Amino acid sequence: MIDLTGKRALVTGGSRGIGAATALLLAQAGADVCIGYRKRKEAANAVVRRIQALGRRASAVAGDLAQRADCDHLIQSATQDMGGLDIFVGNAGTWPSEPVAVDA
């Protein structure tokens, strides 16, 4: 595994799925991790607790990344909470739950 001891990461969409798994892997590799989330506060806090159980610093910051002010707040909060940032994982987003049309 890569050694990320002393590195500080921000993972957007970190409250569940791929984002949560990425945040946990970064922490297992030694990084402190801030996760960004939009709605799932309890899920985000659960990921934070799991990261902290690995002996790493962790925080969660709410925001809607479709809003510039929320983006700015997330970066500022993560930078302040972690003492800087070394790694950014842009994972936030959704996949529409509707059929995708393909033209042949």
Question: pLDDT for 31-69, tens place per residue?
Answer: 999 999 999 999 999 999 999 999 999 999 998 888 899
User: What secondary structure, in 3-state letters, does the chain show?
Assistant: CCCCCCCEEEEECCCCHHHHHHHHHHHHCCCEEEEEECCCHHHHHHHHHHHHHCCCCEEEEECCCCCHHHHHHHHHHHHHHHCCCCEEECCCCCCCCCCCCCCC
pLDDT of residue 15: 93
Evaluate whether 23 touches 30 at the Cβ level (below 8 Å).
Answer: no
Work out the percent of the chain whose per-residue pLDDT is above 70.
Answer: 94
Residue 96 has pLDDT above 70, yes or no: no
